[in-house]
């Protein structure tokens, strides 16, 4: 039953006032709030036996996250320069990085260091050979 003709501000205000009068449940809301939060009874969940895995017999189901795309990048090095120097860069400019020549590259997944590696050429394309993988425990510690 919607009417496509625009309503005047007075008509809109009258509709709002009528709607507010109909739904004046503030007293009921105040009473519920005064009673405090509703408490549901705590169910008893079975406690796993000692040594039994919490996630099930076959281990956690990782299928849910296996297809999530992540960004993997390799970092040769980095440096900080002023905007003035950045604007003066042109073809042939050399930027000194914080790494020594021959030092391993950092392998980052979504910006988090997961490994170190060296550049290789595979079928005329660049690749990276992982030389050192950061343990999952160390990766989690670095996130904190």
CATH code, 130 = 2.30.330.10
Residue 47 covered by a domain:
no
pLDDT in tens, 14-61: 776 666 666 556 666 666 566 665 555 555 555 556 655 555 555 566
Residue 107 covered by a domain:
yes
Given a contact cutoff of 8 angstroms between Cβ atoms, the answer to whether 74 and 128 are in contact is yes
Residue 125 covered by a domain:
yes
Q: Which domain holds residue 113?
A: 62-78+101-143
pLDDT in tens, 70-126: 899 999 889 999 999 999 999 999 999 998 888 899 999 888 889 999 989 989 998
Q: What is the DSSP letter of 57?
A: S
Question: Bigger pLDDT: 127 or 12?
Answer: 127
What distance in Å separates the CA atoms of residue 61 and residue 121, rounded to the nearest whole number? 36
Residue 115 covered by a domain:
yes
Residue 73 covered by a domain:
yes
Total count of domains within the chain: 1
Question: Bigger pLDDT: 11 or 93?
Answer: 93
What distance in Å separates the CA atoms of residue 73 and residue 106, rounded to the nearest whole number? 8
Residue 119 covered by a domain:
yes
């Amino acid at each position: 039953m919607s009417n496509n003709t625009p309503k005047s501000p007075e008509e809109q205000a009258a509709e709002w006032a009528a709607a507010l009068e109909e739904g004046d449940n503030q007293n009921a809301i105040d009473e519920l709030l005064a009673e405090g939060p509703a408490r549901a009874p705590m169910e008893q969940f079975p406690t796993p036996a000692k040594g039994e895995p919490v996630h099930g017999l076959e281990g956690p189901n990782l299928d849910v996250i296996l297809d999530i795309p992540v960004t993997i990048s390799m970092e040769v090095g980095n440096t900080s320069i002023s905007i003035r120097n950045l604007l003066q860069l042109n073809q042939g400019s050399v930027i000194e990085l914080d790494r020594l020549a021959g030092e391993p590259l950092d392998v980052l997944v979504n910006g988090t260091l997961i490994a170190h590696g060296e550049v290789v050429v595979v079928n005329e394309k660049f690749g990276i050979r992982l030389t050192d993988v950061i343990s999952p425990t160390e990766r989690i510690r670095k996130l904190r």
